[in-house]
Amino acid sequence: MADTAARYDFVIAANRLPVDRVVGEDGQVEWHRSPGGLVTAMESVMSGRDGVWVGWAGEPGEAPEPFDEAGMRLHPVPLSEDEIQGYYEGFSNDTLWPIYHDVIVPAQFHRKWWHQYREVNERFAKTLAEVAEEGATVWVHDYQLQLVPAFLRQLRPDLRIGWFDHIPFPPVELFGQLPWRQGILEGLLGADFLGFQRPGDAENFLRACRRYLGMTVKGDVIHVGKATGGHDVRAAAVPISVDFSSMDELSRRPEIKKRAKEIRESLGNPSALLLGIDRLDYTKGIRHRLKAYEELLKDGSLDGADTTFIQIATPSRERIDAYIDLREHVEGAVGRINGNYSAIGSPAMEYLHQGYGREELAALFLAADVMVVTPLRDGMNLVAKEYISCRHDNGGALLLSEFTGAAEELREAFMVNPHDVIGLKRTIMDAINSSPQERSRRMKALRRRVRRNDVQHWASAFLDALEAAPHKPSRHGPQ
Ligand code: ADQ
């Protein structure tokens, strides 16, 4: 049977497919599974089901034919170079991303980007409508695809449609800035269930529906009138997590422990090793943590010859101005800190603008005394949970911004407001100076929580909520 005729009863839609295209030395194209918990979680929900993942393959132009990789069927959606600039870099990452992250940098509004966003969302919906079996479950991911639920419901009212928001949903005062706020809300309301990272995000969404669509909300359910589909939509928090057991297992391997030791030795065995691992993004608060660290070195609280801060900053969105500016700022600060405070063989900072494999990340987590997570706003922050998963020794201290989704669960972390530089400096010192007993007490509690609420738990909770969500009130009645 030709693939265009193939139908699946479980369909995932995300901006990107879970693979990266790699051209081997012999010129052969290979697809490598992308790292990260989402793929692992989706693999586990796909196993035993007849599933397909719909998304962009990462290269402009015509899409490759559907293929199998990472244990699933992958169905590419094409994007032109112009659409990558308008739908993805433009509307998704230069309009929505800043609005949804507290307008840390100003959002750019361009009508052309909005039209491209609509067109690409419609294309995704059409593809989904083609590959979904009668009555299938469709799980749409993230802010790039907020119009897909309504486009898809129009084409295929028989489907059960869920959407999960990986990033925050902004308060109405910020969301209201969007010239296309009504269109976004109507797009989302095509779903049966909308999942958010925090209860506060779901509340922000419900409030926006009341304010900008004049809708009535009962508890966490909105009734969408006949004119726009006539069904009920539930919005609730289902916080994402990590694959605890696989990170735990990985970090117990002798070669990872050996590598962790090597990392410390290569830095001159500092008394305190601090670590930051982030995409190089202005939401992550990298500038704020470097400012605090530099001041601690300057005022003599820390000795640069005996302390090292490793900052791994994965390249991200490198054609957008705000990211270009951030990179310049961070690299300037790193150069200044090292110039002023390093000793030969004992760097005050180690900065790496590169991606790493899971093994190296696990070794870094195991090596670090203090994990520094200081976002100004973050949907969840998986790095914090990965650090916890790797600390089977119950060692290490997690310093965590209260503006992450993770802060709602990870109460035993050393909490900080990254805007408060004095508080940030004090908490860094508290974390560095905390006793092994205190670290162990905190880490044990954190590990219990992440072990229980892991990524598989998240995926089942989302799918259960989607299954149970109010669907067609005429038949089942609103819940
Ligand atoms: P991100 O903003 O990308 O995710 P985060 O949750 O921290 O942020 O996830 C980043 C992932 O990339 C982690 O799994 C991390 O290990 C990995 N990573 C980071 N640097 C790396 C490097 N140099 N090499 C290899 N891997 C690296 C968005 C939202 C978050 C939300 C997630 C999931 O912004 O708030 O937690 O989605 O919903």
Atom 37 (ligand 1) nearest CA: 166
Nearest CA, atom 12, ligand 1: 36
List the catalytic residues: 166, 378
Quote the pLDDT of residue 470. 73
CA of 41 to the centre of ligand 1 (A): 15
Q: pLDDT tens digits for 446-464?
A: 999 999 999 999 999 999 9
How would residue 24 be classed by pLDDT, with cut points 50, 70 and 90? Answer: confident
Do the bridges between strand 307-314 and strand 349-352 make them parallel or antiparallel, or are there none, so unpaired?
parallel
Nearest partner of 252 among 95, 365, 384, judged by Cα: 365
* Rounded distance from Cα 75 to ligand 1 centre (Å): 24
Instruction: Read off φ and ψ for residue 185, nearest 5 degrees.
Output: -60, -45
In this structure, the residue with its CA closest to atom 32 of ligand 1 is 166
Q: Which of 42, 52, 44 is nearest to 10 (CA)?
A: 52
Q: Decide: 39 and 18 in contact? Cβ < 8 Å.
A: yes
CB neighbours of 69 closer than 8 A, spacing ≥ 6? 19, 31, 33
**Residue whose CA is closest, atom 35 of ligand 1?**
379
Q: What is the pTM of this model?
A: 0.95
Q: How many CB atoms lie within 10 A of CB 348?
A: 24
User: What residues are in contact with ligand 1 under a 6 Å CB criterion?
Assistant: 35-36, 166-167, 240, 277, 279, 312, 314, 355-356, 361, 378-383, 386
State the Rg of the chain over Cα. Answer: 23
Contact predicate 436/395, CB 8 Å: yes
If DSSP codes are grouped into helix, strand and coil, which group holds residue 88? Answer: helix
- Residue 161 tokens read as 């449609």
Instruction: Give the pLDDT of residue 474.
Output: 35
DSSP H helical ranges for 214-345? 244-252, 254-266, 286-298, 321-341
pLDDT at 37: 63
CA of 338 to the centre of ligand 1 (A): 27
Over the stretch 106-154, which tens digit does the pLDDT of each residue have? 999 999 999 999 999 999 999 999 999 999 999 999 999 999 999 999 9
The β-bridge partners of 397 are: 370
The token pair at 256 is 């990872």
Tell me how far the alpha carbon of residue 257 lies from the centroid of ligand 1, in angstroms.
23
Structure tokens at 394: 């119950």
CA distance 422 to 403: 17
